Amino acid sequence: MRSCKHMKIVFVVLLSAIISSVTLCKVPYDQFKHLMNNSIVERLFHEEPCACMERCLAASDDEWFTERFRQNVPPLLSLNNSVLPDNIYTWWQSLQSKSQANYSQVIQELFSVIPGEGHYRDAGPSRCRTCAVVGNSGNLVGSFYGPLIDSHDFVMRMNKGPVEGYEKDVGSRTTHRIMYPESATHLDNTTHLVLLPFKILDIQWVTSALTDGTVKRTRYKVIDKLQANKDKVMVIHPAFMHYVHTTWLHIKSRRSYPSTGFLVLMFALHICDEVNVFGFGANSKGTWHHYFEKMPKSFKRTGKHSGGIEHQTILELQERQLISVYRGW
Ligand SMILES: *[C@@H]1O[C@H](CO)[C@@H](O)[C@H](O)[C@H]1NC(C)=O
Ligand SMILES: *[C@@H]1O[C@H](CO)[C@@H](O)[C@H](O)[C@H]1NC(C)=O
Ligand SMILES: *[C@@H]1O[C@H](CO)[C@@H](O)[C@H](O)[C@H]1NC(C)=O
Ligand SMILES: *[C@@H]1O[C@H](CO)[C@@H](O)[C@H](O)[C@H]1NC(C)=O
């Protein structure tokens, strides 16, 4: 859609127009020089890391960003990358109650049900993938962001955040829905289920929920048979969760992990060229609630989620113009 080639043709035409106006209408040379010294014009003569006009995330040379961003950490499990280094396996185990399951066997079973090839390792000069990360915040109510959200290549939603009845504010497309067994919801067959595996049992659950439905409980009773297109199921890599935990959030405590919203944002950062964020944080009155739930009667500022390092990191990403955050209403 946003092919660089087309833009180049447009700019070559524009340039010719400018040059003719310089020669014909005697536009002052300084002004012409100013026009020439424009990053967009400069881009005509360089091979760009991606085809987006606004930004190419992964290629940013922002120092704060490059200190943290690791392009080579795979965000998704595949047949080829499923072996976990000891330190990561130990960390992942520490998040969950002891499991007797054999990890490599669980992975084998998973990839006998869902596709095992790698995904989205296709960054390059001809790709401009725009992504909307849509949280569940009440600040979406009355925002009229629907069409804007839907205009992205990928629209990522999380957990049970509904679309039906909220289209004008949250959009109607969902390309990816990120969830874990306890937050699962049925999907249509065009949406990618992206599983966040907080424990081995979560991977066993997704295998089961797409086949015979034998896993009926995780922390508590969960959906045992899930409607979803199993050819579109993906699983976030435990090593990716570990990387977000340590490299982005510097979390010291062993038994805590990043929030779903933050993990989805990081996932988007690693597979998209341009990321826009919707439905994160409180509304303009400082109220925290879900857009699909009634507004609390008293506008109580909980503030509990607001001061954390995740929030700081999102602000920093925005300040450095690496992402755009749409604050809603
Ligand atoms: C072009 O812009 C850069 C910074 O954006 C500046 O350092 C440089 O002097 C400019 N060159 C000309 C010819 O104006
Ligand atoms: C786990 O499963 C793999 C493959 O199914 C097998 O080779 C391995 O011996 C098993 N490990 C243990 C500790 O049972
Ligand atoms: C695994 O990687 C090898 C080479 O690295 C590649 O030839 C093969 O196609 C990959 N398999 C899958 C399922 O992606
Ligand atoms: C997906 O669903 C549509 C209708 O809802 C159906 O026509 C189509 O065959 C389904 N595709 C697959 C792969 O199940």
Q: What is the pLDDT of residues 257-304, one digit of tens each?
A: 788 999 999 999 999 999 999 999 888 887 888 999 887 665 454 444
pLDDT number for residue 162 = 96
**Model confidence pLDDT, tens digit, residues 184-223:** 999 999 999 999 999 999 999 999 999 999 999 998 899 9
Q: Which atom of ligand 2 is nearest to the CA of 108?
A: 5
pLDDT band at 131 (very low <50, low <70, confident <90, very high): very high
227 lines ligand 4 (CB under 6 A): no
Q: Tell me the CA end-to-end span of the chain in Å, nearest whole number.
A: 31
pLDDT number for residue 253 = 67
33 lines ligand 1 (CB under 6 A): yes
- Which of 50-64, 152-166, 233-247 has the weakest average pLDDT? 50-64
H-helix or E-strand containing 133?
A: strand 130-134
CATH superfamily of 58-326: Glycosyl transferase family 29 (3.90.1480.20)
189 lines ligand 4 (CB under 6 A): yes
Closest-approaching ligand to the CA atom of 230: 4
Closest-approaching ligand to the CA atom of 117: 3
Residue 236 φ/ψ, nearest 5 degrees: -60, 140
- CA 222 – ligand 2 centroid, Å: 28
pLDDT band at 104 (very low <50, low <70, confident <90, very high): very high
- CA 79 – ligand 2 centroid, Å: 16
pLDDT number for residue 302 = 46
Domain ranges of the chain: 5-46, 58-326
- Which 8-state DSSP code applies to residue 44? T
- CA 158 – ligand 4 centroid, Å: 23
State which amino acid sits at residue 10: V
Closest-approaching ligand to the CA atom of 115: 3
Residue 42 φ/ψ, nearest 5 degrees: -55, -35
Residue 132, strand partner residues:
155, 276
Tokens for 243, please give them: 């990387």
Q: What span, in angstroms and rounded, lies between the C-alpha atoms of 205 and 43? A: 48
**Site of tokens 């401009």:** 128
Q: Is 223 left (phi over 0), alpha (psi -120 to 50) or beta?
A: beta
Catalytic residues: 257, 305
Q: What is the pTM of this model?
A: 0.80
| Mutate which of 80, 107, 122 for ligand 3 pocket (most atoms within 8 A of beta carbon) | 80
